[in-house]
Amino acid sequence: MSEKEPKPVFLRACRRLRVDHTPIWLMRQAGRYMPEYRATRAEHEMLEVIRTPELAAEITLQPIERFGFDAAIIFADILPPLIGMGFDLEFVKGVGPRIKNPIGHPQDVGSLTTPPADVSMPGTLRAIKMVSDELNPRGIPLIGFCGAPFTLASYAIEGGGSRDYTKVKSFIYHEPDAWTMLMNKLVQVQADYLLAQAEAGASALQIFDSWVGLALGAQDYKRYVQPYNTTLFAKVARGGVPVINFSTGTGAYIEEVARCGGDVVGIDWRLPLDEAWHRIGHERSIQGNLDPAALLAPWPELKLRVDDVLARAGGNPGHIFNLGHGIFPQTSVDQVQRLVDYVREMSARRGARAQ
């Protein structure tokens, strides 16, 4: 498949090429809202699934077979690469991820290791190879991903999810040198991991900075995050596949987020899509931005919100329809199918009118 003029609508939209319908995939599209996912997970722990290529491949394909999304995302998580650096990670049922040995002192950063991805994440790379071998002939791109350095550092320092990010922010303010060293190590490990994913067969890559906007204002973002993200995007651009720059809660400084890099900027639902695109610039593609809670609304209400996202995208080349953040586990599979069918139908009609 030629990189300049790819056929799949998702890859075309990443490059702002004309499409016959707006591509759609959903963050966390393989997950607990699907009965087939719950059935697989009932028999296997989260880390076991991630480490077993056959299981990860099976789960990755579940939403593709059921809904016909325009892209798959490899089933994995942003946190397992931290295990290779020396963190003791577990997924606690009903609680979420926990790191049992979080960073407590600046010296802890010095002892973190930076192994290459083929040593620390062989199962995920193998799963990518298996899924891309299956999906490439069918013209369905596979997205690889990693966590952005700030979001990973927040888990490494807080030891889990956080409400106020006081530990990571205190660390930044008290230990700026150790922060620099930590962010540089994370950039090195994530860049290597993403490039290995592209090599294994991923057709696009997404970097999740899920918590940065909930923690930091614009000044702190520019000083303590932007330089590292900029380096990460520059390194990953060498992989030759489109890169999606996703964050949440960054509406106050989305221009600064976009400036770090990436072919596509992923936005949450808090900003109207047209305003975000104007601020980011139309020479970049945009991904988003239906509120995931809208999928819990009755169809007429959901439809209005989908219409609004499509209207704000205005049929411009470079829109990838997605949620503003991950799908909720209580979402009905019927609503998801209706959403996929409706986005495809409406955007195809809009395209037909434009010609």
**Residues assigned a catalytic role:** 28, 32, 41, 77, 155
Identity of the amino acid at 216: L
Nearer to ligand CP3, 31 or 262 (CB): 31
Nearer to ligand CP3, 47 or 348 (CB): 47
Q: For residue 176, what is the enclosing H or E element? A: helix 176-200
Which residue type occupies 235?
K
Sign of the CA dihedral 135, 26, 283, 308?
positive
CA distance 68 to 58: 15
Give dist(CA 64, CA 36) in Å, integer.
12
CB of 343 to ligand CP3, least distance (A): 18
Does position 31 bind ligand CP3 by CB under 6 A? yes
Q: Residue 290, SS3?
A: strand
Binding of residue 208 to ligand CP3 (CB under 6 A): yes
From the list 28-36, 234-242, 291-299, 315-323, the region that binds ligand CP3 by CB under 6 A is 28-36
Which residue lies nearer to ligand CP3 by CB, 19 or 49? 49
Selected range binding ligand CP3 among 15-23, 25-33, 288-296, 343-351, rule: CB under 6 A: 25-33
Residues 148-167 that bind ligand CP3 (CB under 6 A): 161
* 96 touching ligand CP3, by CB under 6 A: yes
Binding of residue 66 to ligand CP3 (CB under 6 A): no
Q: In angstroms, rounded to a whole number, what is the distance separating the alpha carbons of residues 307 and 68?
A: 20
Q: Does 32 sit near ligand CP3 (CB under 6 A)?
A: yes
Q: Kindly state whether residue 97 participates in binding ligand CP3, applying the rule CB under 6 A.
A: yes
Q: Where do we find the tokens 């290459």?
A: 116
Segment interacting with ligand CP3 (CB under 6 A) among 91-99, 110-118, 122-130, 299-307: 91-99
Nearest to 258 by CA among 284, 228, 235: 284
Residues that bind ligand CP3 (rule: CB under 6 A) add up to a total of 22
For residue 94, what are the contacts with CB-CB under 8 A and spacing of at least 6? Answer: none
